[in-house]
Amino acid sequence: MSLDTVSAAQENPNTPQPYAELGLRDEEYARIKEILGRRPTSSELAMYSVMWSEHCSYKSSKVHLKQFGEKAPKSDALLVGIGENAGVVDIGQGYAVTFKIESHNHPSFVEPYQGAATGVGGIVRDILTMGARPIAVMDPLRFGLANAPDTRRVLPGIVAGVGGYGNCLGVPNIGGEVVFDETYAGNPLVNALCVGVMRHEDIKLAKAHGTGNLVVLFGAKTGGDGIGGVSVLASETFSDSKPTKRPAVQVGDPFAEKVLIECCLEIFKADLVIGIQDLGGAGLSCATSELASAGSGGMEIQLEKVPLRDPSLSPEEILMSESQERMCAIVEPAKIKQFLAICKKWDVTSTVIGEVTDGTNLHITFNGELIVDVPPRTVAHDGPVYNRPLAEPAYIKEHAAKTLNVPLPTTDAEIKAAVLKLIASPNIADKSWVTSQYDRYVQGNSVLAQPEDSGMVRIDAKTNLGVAISTDVNARWSYLNPYEGAKLALLESCRNIATTGAKPLAVTNCLNFGSPEDPGVMWQFAESVRGLADICLEMGLPVTGGNVSFYNQTGSVAILPTPVIGVLGVIQDVRTRTQMGISQSGLDLYRFGTPDSNLSGSEWAYLHGEIGNAAPKADVDFEVRLVKALLEGQPLFEAAHDISNGGLAAGISEMVLKNKVGASITLTDAGVELMTETPGQVVVAIDPSHESDLLALAAKYSIPLTKLGTTGGDDLTINGEAIPIAELSQAHTETFPKLFG
């Protein structure tokens, strides 16, 4: 087959092209021809198809995401915002921290191990390209029903992939979630977060400046894995039959990435790059077009110089390949010798494949023939934008009209049985089967990790400066009210950060939804974005970046709207952090906040086959006061735990089980207080001598405070009914080994 060059495209304007098979619409193909003034070459078509895919171009979400800029609060901490590979914030002492969360959902369904592994690898490289050393990862995961055959297929592979890749990299996994719901059957959510640290002066950006500067591709050689991954997998709805697009899933090599990390950090330290970009989704198509678009605009690439694992790859396949562990850097000619020498030292393949020009277009040749001649911005940043139809789904009013009727335990025996049933449920049960596969302590700076309220890592060994990170969302609340659900997700993450003693600083998000072509799904998405933008403005927290994952849908069944919200906080001295577990007898237990009787969206309702009728409403003023109270009162707390999924029943059980120290609590309305998940509740344990200080703190911030009981003994005792810790532990820990072990 002859090479499809730019001159051939001009001479043969009517050559049929498989644009529809590549995911492009008729009007999108027509627009490409209008931009170029001719039909695209096959290589240009490949580039536009992957870069204009939903996953890369955000064509259905851009009109809504702009709210994050329009409503952005003023933030002295924000150093790099939305638009780069990851956001960067100032945490003091000259340190900058970068963090971001992304999805790798569809590939993880097709090939669980590699899909999850390369999801971790991709987000780590995003952090690396900012000039930072990756210091921690997190993995919010969601699956279909825990006992479903396909869950037993995908969950072990996904967990092994997350652990296998992260462990080999030597990056600790400090938190995440494992949640089950039938709507995720066929569409598991694999969201990966990474955080990295650097000095302010070491921040790198993805820009190609300076005529004559060289374009260097370094890292792994390019193979046939991942071709079309983003356009084929992440931008379409799965049919009810199992997908057969295994070649579109990338294959990861964590040892190659570990070497690449160290190589990059040495290159950064020597100040050898003008700009840098990783090769993730859309591969070389993305790296070259984004670097050129964000820089001066002109770039020449000689595609035949790209090192290949498979010499049979066509130019189109080279441009679309999503082979992992690759980076693209812009280097001054005077520094190229030193750059290549560092790569050689680390045994990292490195090749000069082009240079920055004073032109306006991205030119790519193959063996001397011009196969791409495009304005780079049209590929990378000026793709189609759709303001898709949206409409409130009928189920919203249908659920609102229903009465939620879920039985609550009343007698002592019923209370004991209910607590044991709840903490044994897959969503609440101990996740050690998962977390034991992750290295949580490598690098030696992990301070808190699962199952704590937030993960925490030390940044500076001398001053003990640190950061805390939490990811959260109750997707059932988002289903009932996506606007409030997004707000509540952020507030829960903030509580989790503050409960450990860190001050919330910035936000990232991974917005997981069904098909954008469904007006009901688009309404869910629009309301979620509106809620998140509003709450960030009210809380004064900037959104630094994130990810949108659409088409999480099998046939007509969409997932619950799942906007996973990550919050990063800063703590001046990690040695002062508060843990969730009760550490000793003789402490007094108090509850901040007041539970109401709304069981909608709760785990207890879910266990009875109900979702409810009305999500809680976010009380932002109260939550701001609560965060301030938690931070000011942190020296008083011997333990603290946010009450969320599973309510007080789960929360107090987790506090008792962490260190096997019992507690005795007395409740006025035990069923309601144990099972509702009213936002804004935190349980704290204090030395009795600090009672007056705690009462004064609660009064200062107008926070309701209730004494629950005391710590000690070998039981969790509720209103006189004792549940032995051994029995509680057995119920909590047996579930996952029985399901998956």
What is the rounded CA–CA span in Å between residue 380 and residue 33?
16
Report helix angle 254-269 to 336-345, nearest 10: 140
What is the rounded CA–CA span in Å between residue 674 and residue 652?
9
Closest to 129 (Cα-Cα) out of 297, 349, 389, 330: 330
Q: Is 641 a catalytic residue?
A: no
Cis, bond preceding 451 (omega within 30 deg of 0) = yes
What is the rounded CA–CA span in Å between residue 677 and residue 607?
14
Options 64, 104, 399, 690, the catalytic residue: 104
What is the rounded CA–CA span in Å between residue 335 and residue 429?
55
Amino acid identity at 573: D
What is the rounded CA–CA span in Å between residue 47 and residue 286?
8
Options 55, 399, 641, 690, the catalytic residue: 55
Give the angle 317-319-320 at the CA atoms, nearest 5°: 65
What is the rounded CA–CA span in Å between residue 498 and residue 193?
19
DSSP three-state, residue 701: coil
Report residue 282 CA to chain centroid gap.
Answer: 19
What is the rounded CA–CA span in Å between residue 43 and residue 387?
29
DSSP three-state, residue 105: helix
Q: Is 104 a catalytic residue?
A: yes
Q: Is the Cα dihedral 246, 248, 253, 254 positive or negative?
A: negative
517 and 558 Cβ atoms separated by less than 8 Å:
no
- By residue count, the chain amounts to 741
Name, in order, each residue with C-beta under 8 angstroms of 671's C-beta and a sequence gap of 6 or more: 408, 409, 410, 415, 418
What is the rounded CA–CA span in Å between residue 299 and residue 61?
29
For residue 705, give both structure tokens: 């405070």
* Backbone torsions φ then ψ of 175, nearest 5 degrees: 175, 175
Report helix angle 620-633 to 519-539, nearest 10: 50
* Backbone torsions φ then ψ of 548, nearest 5 degrees: -115, 130
Q: How far is the CA of 410 from the CAs of 50, 93, 652, 674, in angstroms?
A: 58, 54, 18, 11
Neighbours of 181 (CB within 10 A): 20
What do you get for the CA distance between the two ends of the chain, in Å? 52
360 and 375 Cβ atoms separated by less than 8 Å:
yes
Neighbours of 713 (CB within 10 A): 16
Q: Name the CA radius of gyration of the chain, rounded.
A: 26
Closest to 451 (Cα-Cα) out of 464, 433, 425: 433
Closest to 317 (Cα-Cα) out of 328, 303, 333: 303
Q: How far is the CA of 560 from the CAs of 182, 184, 481, 548, 557, in angstroms?
A: 9, 8, 11, 14, 9
What is the rounded CA–CA span in Å between residue 521 and residue 219?
39
Amino acid identity at 585: S
Alpha helices in 503-562 (DSSP H): 519-539
What is the rounded CA–CA span in Å between residue 709 and residue 712?
10
Q: Which residues pair with 369 in a beta bridge?
A: 366
326 and 307 Cβ atoms separated by less than 8 Å:
no
Catalytic residues: 55, 104
